[in-house]
Chains A and B, each alone.
Chain A
Amino acid sequence: QQQVRQSPQSLTVWEGETAILNCSYEDSTFDYFPWYRLFPGESPALLIAIRPVSNKKEDGRFTIFFNKREKKLSLHITDSQPGDSATYFCAASEQGTGSKLSFGKGAKLTVSP
């Protein structure tokens, strides 16, 4: 059973628009939610992460909105740039479990100039 689900699988936006990537999870014991970004030819790298004590985490143009009751979160990328084109993975884990991160299938974002 897929623990972490992402939608859409792919998204194309114009430069300057806001891209919204959605994520939902099954396990209510999950309490750490990182987003990893994968550029072609590179390895995944941590972009931003949130814990359920907050319902929002902001880092520059990247913001996570978190809804614990609905077990949903979303990554908003404002003023999208062509350099943001990449695959974005939502992940979740239970703290103290040796980083048993469960990843979603990823969402491919394309930002057109």
Chain B
Amino acid sequence: AQTIHQWPVAEIKAVGSPLSLGCTIKGKSSPNLYWYWQATGGTLQQLFYSITVGQVESVVQLNLSASRPKDDQFILSTEKLLLSHSGFYLCAWSLQGERLFFGHGTKLSVL
């Protein structure tokens, strides 16, 4: 069975501090991977997607970056957090680009 694990579950960070969020998918070879962000009361906004190791496409510019160092790992990061980065971050995977399977998300509060 496929499992998707996100870490941490929640983070409280100061403005200007660095951030690293992780996502691991087990049980699926070469999945498409995605990072989504949901501001409070907002929609699910796709940030990045990756169809293979080392290749990441940016969908929205939010002063964030993403990397896929391994087939089953997707990392979201920034060197300097902004207040506007607060929200809920969801990692997801799919095959053939249709049905998405989401992780449980990371709640980020930037103070």
Residues of A within 8 A of B (CB): 2, 4, 32, 34, 36, 42-46, 49, 89, 91, 95-106
Contact = CB atoms under 8 A, between A and B. Distances in A.
Contacts of A2: 43
A29 B26 CA distance: 33
A101 B99 contact: no
A67 to B, nearest CB: 22
Contacts of B99: 34, 46, 49
11 contacts: A32-B98, A42-B104, A45-B101, A45-B102, A49-B99, A98-B32, A99-B100, A101-B100, A103-B45, A104-B43, A106-B44
A43 B97 contact: no
Contacts of A101: 44, 46, 100
